[in-house]
Chain A
Amino acid sequence: MTDATAPETDRSTPPAATRGRGGEILDLVLLPSAAILLALVVGAVIMILSSPLTRGGFNLALPWTAYVALVQGSFGSFDAIVSTMSAATPLVLAGLAVGIGFKAGVFNIGAQGQFLMAGLAAAAMGVATAGLPPVAAIPLAVGAGLLAGAAYGFVPGFLKATTGAHEVVTTIMLNYVAIQFLAWAVSGPLRGENVTFARTETITTAVLPVLFGRDGHLGIAFAAIAVPLLAWLLFRSTLGFEIRTVGANPHAARYAGMRPRAILILTMSLSGMLAGLAGVAEILGKVHHIPAAYSTTVGFDAIAVALLGRSHPVGILFAGILFGAMRAGSGLMQIQAGIPVQMINVLQAVILFFLAADLIVRAVFRLRSSGESASELQTISASYGGGGTA
Chain B
Amino acid sequence: MRKHPGVAFMAILAALTLVLAACQSSGPDLGLCRPIGDAKAPETPAPTAAAPGSSDLKIGLVTDVGTLDDRNFNQYSWEGALRGAEIIGAAEPSNIVTTASSDYAANIQSFVDQDYNIIVTVGFALGEATLAAATANPDVHFIGVDQFQAGDDFLAGAGLANYESLIFSEAQAGYLAGIVAASLSKSGEVAAIGGSGTIPPVVNYARGYENGAKSVNPDVKVHIKYISDDLGVAFNDPTTGKSFTDQFRQQNAKVDVIFQVAGKTGNGVLQSVEEGKIYGIGVDVDQWASTPESAECIVTSAEKKLTLAVSDGIAAVGGGSPRAGNVSYSATNDGIGLAPFYQFADLITDDIQSKIDAAFDGMAAGSVDPCKPSGLCYAGTADPGT
Please choose the segment from A4-12, A223-231, A325-333 that sits at the chain B interface, where 4 or more of its residues have CB less than 8 A away.
Answer: A325-333
**Interface residue SS majority, chain A:** helix
Cβ contacts under 8 Å, A87 to chain B:
106
Chain A residues contacting B147 (CB-CB under 8 Å) are 196
Contact of A296 among B92, B100, B105 (CB under 8 A): B100
- Residues in B whose Cβ lies below 8 Å from that of A197: 124-125, 127, 199, 231
Neighbour of A292 across the interface among B99, B110, B113, B231, CB < 8 A: B231
* Complex-state Cα separation, A1 to B196, whole angstroms: 76
Chain B contacts with A in 87-101, Cβ cutoff 8 A: 92, 94-97, 99-101
Q: Do B100 and A198 touch across chains, with their CB atoms under 8 A apart?
A: no
Flag if B109 contacts A293 (CB, 8 Å): no
A334 at the interface (CB under 8 A from B): yes
Residues of chain A within 8 A (CB-CB) of B97 are 334, 340-342
CB-nearest residue of chain B relative to A286? Answer: B102
Whether B101 contacts A332 by the Cβ 8 Å rule is no
Bin the interface of chain B by size: 35 or more
Q: A335 contacts B150, CB within 8 Å? A: no
Contact with A along B226-260 (1 / 0, CB 8 A): 00011111111000000000000000000000000
Expressed in whole angstroms, the minimum distance between the Cβ of B60 and any Cβ of chain A is 7
Residue among B68, B105, B106, B235 with the highest chain A CB neighbour number at 10 A: B106
| Interchain CB contact under 8 A, B94 and A298 | no
Contact of A331 among B110, B150, B196, B199 (CB under 8 A): B110
Determine if A338 and B94 form an interchain contact, defined as CB atoms under 8 angstroms apart. Answer: yes
Q: Give every chain A residue within 8 A of B124 (Cβ-Cβ).
A: 196-197
Query: Is B352 among interface residues, defined by CB-CB distance under 8 A?
Result: no
B73 at the interface (CB under 8 A from A): no
User: Are B110 and A73 in contact (CB-based, < 8 A)?
Assistant: yes
Contact A293 B106 (CB under 8 A): no
| Separation of A341 and B63 alpha carbons in the complex (Å) | 11
A286/B148 contact (C-beta < 8 A), A334-B96, A335-B110, A341-B97 known: no
Size band of the interface chain A makes with B: 35 or more
With both chains docked as a complex, state the minimum distance between the C-beta of A254 and any C-beta of chain B, in angstroms.
24
A170 at the interface (CB under 8 A from B): no
A336 to B107, CA, bound (A): 13
Using an 8 Å CB-CB cutoff, how does the interface string of B28-42 with A read, 1 for contact, 0 for none? 000000000000000
Q: Complex formed: what's the CA distance from A344 to B97 in Å?
A: 12
* Inter-chain contacts of A335 with B (CB < 8 A): 60, 94, 96, 110-111, 114
* Contact assessment for A293 and B236 in the assembled complex, using a CB-CB cutoff below 8 Å: yes
Find chain A residues with CB under 8 A from B128 CB. Answer: 289
A328 and B196 CA atoms in complex are apart in Å by: 35
Complex alpha-carbon distance, A187 and B128, angstroms: 18
Please tell me if B65 contacts chain A, counting CB pairs below 8 Å. yes
* B103 at the binding interface (Cβ < 8 Å): yes
Apart from A83-B109, A180-B232, A197-B199, what 8 extra A-B contacts exist at CB < 8 Å?
A: A196-B127, A196-B148, A291-B101, A293-B235, A331-B110, A335-B60, A335-B110, A344-B99
Give A residues with C-beta under 8 Å from B: 55, 73, 79, 83, 86-87, 90, 179-180, 182-184, 186-188, 194, 196-198, 214-215, 282, 286-287, 289, 291-298, 327-328, 330-332, 334-336, 338, 340-342, 344-345
Q: Provide a sorted-by-A list of 11 A–B residue pairs whose CB atoms are within 8 angstroms.
A: A196-B147, A197-B231, A287-B101, A293-B232, A296-B100, A297-B99, A327-B103, A331-B107, A334-B97, A335-B114, A341-B99
Closest 3 CB pairs of A and B: A331-B110, A183-B232, A292-B231
